[in-house]
Chain A
């Protein structure tokens, strides 16, 4: 994985000094809270209902064990012994003191981490495929391109006060595991007819109040124009994105209001101009970065045999592992969704244990997924049982990946000052209702996502089943949506009818799974059956 050189280290160290200075001026009263707010946000520091929340960047979701260990230590030292992994492949701490943050950032900088641009109206941490570098279906590892973009977008002087936040995802396989087209810019690395690698650009996707699937804006950007083209996309947005209404300020609204063709015309014009400016790093820089992402030293003699006599282990292998491009290895996902637990939460001890297992059994590498789980990308099959046993002892062996128990949820009204309703208790109740492994296996893949307000941090639009918490005359109420997907077949979920109470929504989901099981044909997933038979049979069962 990427290793900082003296320049990268200097950049994060300088940021720590800058932020320390900002906190000093705030505590001395030289900065008002209104003045300080946009500054602290650019450093991932939010003021929530009860305390400050600090969001630490995990660039494209990749971590080494030293970094992961420190994340556990920070949870102990500065929080209440927990960390919360997010849908942006980052980690958040919910109980932080303002005066501690410069020291936390300084500790992070020592292991090449930071909180730069993890919030605020700027280019955010760049996300990617959590299986990058290990997936059998990728054409290249997308992370070197994400790293090139990370450096370009860090402190980009022209784009630090955009109309609104700006999220970029980079993938490099046909199967989309990163919800790429639901980003402000989605990039898919592709190979053209001449066999050259380049980038396909999508722009104007997003969730929030007005969910949109990003249209394709350019089929192929050559690698030696990647930064220049990105800069053109951003400049048009910075100049013409709406600033009169924060709910209409994302690039999706600009692309929608101008129309895709007019946005493309403006970007191409700006791009032609910017090509005259020497702003593009040389390909040698991309090569330098790529050298950090050469695969690990696999054991080419590793056996493909796996002893599945332990039934619990077998269930976990079937549910939580994926094919690796190297024979004798698998990609293993640790579910942070135990029955009745808080989605994405891990204790300091669990975080450190995962770090140790990654060091011993996954070439020192871990990934955070946008579904709020942790991945060991390169585990030798011969080691898998040992890894599973250690996870099992730590309460980390839940075999529910992509099932109804593997819920994505935002922090909701338990923490967030924007929320209208609580998300976590609903997630806990659903995961308890469907707690039996047998039942989860029977229902199979069912992606369930919960947001506590229309800002959609819990991605409810992209859930096979989505839940949206709203405030109805002072009471928490939950709307139910069906039919969303974030994969290659991206679609937006639709509201099925009137909302429910907290218990009512759990009952409704149970009825929906019964309709699915009664109508399922062959290997159909919930989503496939829903798409085939439509909403009516579900509505009838739920409201009839």
Chain B
């Protein structure tokens, strides 16, 4: 298992082994699952209550399907740990956060200082993803 290098949660790190989506549907006691880029995140929606960890795999950071997967799961109300795993790069950390990831386990450890800068780089954002809880610039321009 790869180490979690960055985590933005107060609860205990989940160490349950993540199973594949296929085995997850057969193992009614599994609490952690690993989504590959080609998996349909919506297959997990009926089971969100028993999940405490969803790993979303990025075999290559340039495959962006995991961003949609994460956001779909958060939109459906998943509140457990959402961990990005694999080929993570510093420059995408902020965008992963915005799609609902709150834990990061890169294949190769990232430079701590550069990563912290990247997480904090964007003070404002143009879109509401909702799942990151951040108000969009348009919301600041037009306070309710």
Contacts and interface: CB of A to CB of B under 8 A. Distances in A.
B117 A21 contact: yes
A158 B126 contact: no
Contacts of A279: 127-130
B122 interface: yes
B122 A155 contact: yes
Given A18-B91, A22-B91, A284 B142 contact: yes
Contacts of B65: 238-239, 243
A111 interface: no
Contacts of B69: 239
Interface in B87-144: 89, 91-92, 94-96, 98-99, 111, 114, 117, 121-130, 136-138, 140-142
A14 B138 CA distance: 18
Interface stretch (B2-10, B11-19, B20-28, B56-64): B56-64
Interface residues of B, number: 38
Contact of B64 (A18, A39, A159, A273): A159
A21 B140 CA distance: 28
Nearest to B142: A284
A184 to B, nearest CB: 15
A5 interface: yes
B64 A162 contact: yes
Nearest to A121: B62
Contact of A285 (B114, B129, B142): B142
Interface string A123-164: 000000000000000000000000000011011111111100
B121 A14 contact: yes
B89 A35 contact: yes
B67 interface: yes
B127 A156 contact: yes
B67 to A, nearest CB: 5
Given A14-B121, A155-B125, A281-B136, A288 B62 contact: no
A460 to B, nearest CB: 29
B63 A161 contact: yes
A161 B128 CA distance: 18
Contact of A288 (B67, B99, B124, B141): B141
B68 A7 contact: no
Contacts of B37: 243
Given A161-B64, A235-B68, A10 B124 contact: yes
Contact of A7 (B61, B89, B111, B124): B124
Contacts of A7: 124, 137, 140-141
B141 A239 contact: no
Contact of A238 (B64, B92, B95, B114): B64
B75 interface: yes
A248 to B, nearest CB: 15
B114 A158 contact: no
A14 B126 CA distance: 13
Contacts of A156: 126-127
Contacts of A273: 75
Q: Which 3 A-B pairs have the closest CB atoms?
A: A161-B64, A157-B95, A157-B98
A11 B124 contact: yes
B140 to A, nearest CB: 7
A25 B114 contact: yes
A38 interface: yes
A296 interface: no
Contacts of A29: none
B136 A38 contact: no
Given A160-B95, A162-B64, A277 B124 contact: no
Interface string A30-41: 100001001100
